């Protein structure tokens, strides 16, 4: 017999995190705990957490949905998979909690060269929005830490200052030294997006995520067709659950890349579908965590490793929180590694 409950555990940022949707001081998070009465002491953990203004499930009924899910688990009912479109982070949490339970409850889902500590996952270094001096400081720190790929969020400060920041980077580091990815989070207006993309293209930019807001299919398709910088879709994918709708979206827009965030898309199974469709259309992809704790990050990282994608992934968010969980995950020289000799401390979530 299965037992289930959720624990509210807000994640507190070490310093305010600037995004195009405002400044975040905490991330609302719940952890789904599933136990099997036939396996005493073993439980699976799944992370269900929200990004205000971005997560489709950022709604007042969220906790009630979690309660209904726990009741259904204990009654051996099946949570309606269609709810995944409304509550993708819950679907991600359920999927990973069951996987954890079924593999022994130690957050080790498979044995491979990543979980054994022999091989890491290349990741990009994330530069948060803020004053130009603050962003410059972050860039220097990421380069000194051994990152060969950095991701810079743009659209929050004056565009001329962002151009100057990129100019300073390229004055010291060529594209062969440092790969620069940009993330606009939909900050550009459709009418001036192309002009800004042309300015940005002077700095050998690898790609830019979501230059304009999602839902403007024709305008985004036009940008992807003519942009001097490859475009990656991110928010555009959220809430698209039907395979036919997913295929139609990719065919209409024809982006160069897509960005996969399992907890915003509805789990790794849904992300696998996006990968399959993208590869059919010769569209590249990489995965990014959606600011999860080490529990969610661990699940995404172990899944990504099995995909054998050599591109740097967006998995460098495990050091953001004051109250994150002690885990085997560590960042070294621009890569995410799993230290097999380190353990977990999830005592605050123990049933």
Domain ranges of the chain: 2-102, 121-349
pLDDT tens digits for range 101-150: 999 999 999 999 999 999 999 999 988 877 878 888 888 899 899 999 99
pLDDT (average), residues 150-163: 87
Q: What is the pLDDT of residue 134?
A: 85
Q: What is the pLDDT of residue 74?
A: 84
Q: What is the pLDDT of residue 130?
A: 77
Q: What is the pLDDT of residue 153?
A: 87
Whether the per-residue pLDDT at 350 is higher than 70: the answer is yes
Cα-atom radius of gyration of the chain, to the nearest Å? 20
Of 236, 240, 239, 305, residue with least CA distance to 56: 239
Rounded distance between C-alpha atoms, residue 142 and residue 182, angstroms: 15
**Counting beta carbons within 10 angstroms of the beta carbon of residue 116, is it exposed (0 to 12), middle (13 to 18) or buried (19 or more)?**
exposed
Q: Give the helix ranges, DSSP H, for 148-242.
A: 159-172, 190-200, 217-226
Whether the per-residue pLDDT at 175 is higher than 90: the answer is yes
Rounded distance between C-alpha atoms, residue 176 and residue 257, angstroms: 20
Strand partners, 35: 3, 43
2-102 classified as CATH 3.40.710.10: no
Q: What is the pLDDT of residue 202?
A: 96
C-alpha distance across the termini of the chain, in Å: 15
Q: Mind telling me the catalytic residues?
A: 153, 261
Token pair belonging to 136: 């410059």
Token pair belonging to 242: 């039907």
Mean of pLDDT over the chain: 92
Transcribe 295-315 into DSSP letters.
HHHHHHHHHHHTTT--SPBB-
78 band by pLDDT with thresholds 50, 70 and 90: low
Q: What is the pLDDT of residue 79?
A: 62
Whether the per-residue pLDDT at 24 is higher than 90: the answer is no
Q: What percent of the chain has pLDDT above 70?
A: 96
What is the CATH topology of the domain spanning 121-349? TIM Barrel (3.20.20)
Token pair belonging to 134: 């603050």
Rounded distance between C-alpha atoms, residue 318 and residue 76, angstroms: 34
């Amino acid at each position: 017999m299965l037992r289930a409950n959720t624990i509210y555990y807000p994640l507190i940022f070490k310093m305010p995190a600037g995004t195009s949707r405002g400044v975040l001081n905490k991330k609302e998070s719940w952890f789904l705990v599933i136990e099997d009465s036939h396996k005493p002491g073993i439980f699976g953990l799944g992370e269900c957490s929200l990004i205000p203004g971005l997560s489709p499930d950022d709604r007042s009924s969220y906790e009630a949905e979690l309660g209904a899910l726990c009741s259904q688990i204990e009654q051996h009912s099946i949570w309606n998979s269609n709810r995944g479109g409304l509550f993708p982070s819950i679907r991600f949490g359920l999927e990973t909690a069951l996987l954890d339970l079924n593999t022994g409850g130690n957050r080790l889902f498979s044995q491979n060269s990543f979980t054994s500590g022999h091989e890491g996952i290349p990741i990009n270094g994330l530069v948060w929005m803020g004053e130009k001096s603050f962003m410059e400081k972050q860039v220097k720190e990421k380069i000194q830490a051994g990152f060969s790929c950095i991701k810079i969020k743009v659209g929050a400060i004056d565009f001329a200052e962002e151009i100057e920041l990129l100019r300073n980077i390229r004055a010291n580091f060529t594209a062969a030294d440092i790969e620069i990815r940009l993330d606009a989070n939909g900050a550009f207006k459709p009418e001036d997006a192309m002009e800004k993309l042309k300015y940005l293209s002077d700095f050998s930019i690898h790609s830019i995520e979501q230059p304009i807001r999602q839902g403007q299919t024709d305008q985004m398709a036009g940008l992807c067709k003519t942009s001097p910088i490859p475009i990656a879709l991110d928010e555009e994918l959220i809430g698209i659950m039907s395979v036919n709708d997913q295929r139609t979206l990719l065919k209409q827009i024809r982006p160069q890349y897509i960005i996969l965030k399992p907890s915003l898309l509805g789990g790794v199974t849904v992300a696998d579908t996006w990968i399959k469709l993208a590869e059919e259309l010769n569209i590249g992809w990489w995965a990014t965590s959606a600011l999860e704790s080490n529990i969610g990050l661990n699940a995404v990282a172990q899944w990504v490793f099995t995909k054998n994608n050599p591109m740097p992934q967006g998995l460098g968010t495990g050091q953001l929180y004051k109250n994150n969980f002690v885990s085997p995950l560590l960042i070294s020289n621009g890569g995410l590694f799993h230290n097999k000799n380190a353990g977990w401390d999830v005592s605050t979530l123990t049933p």
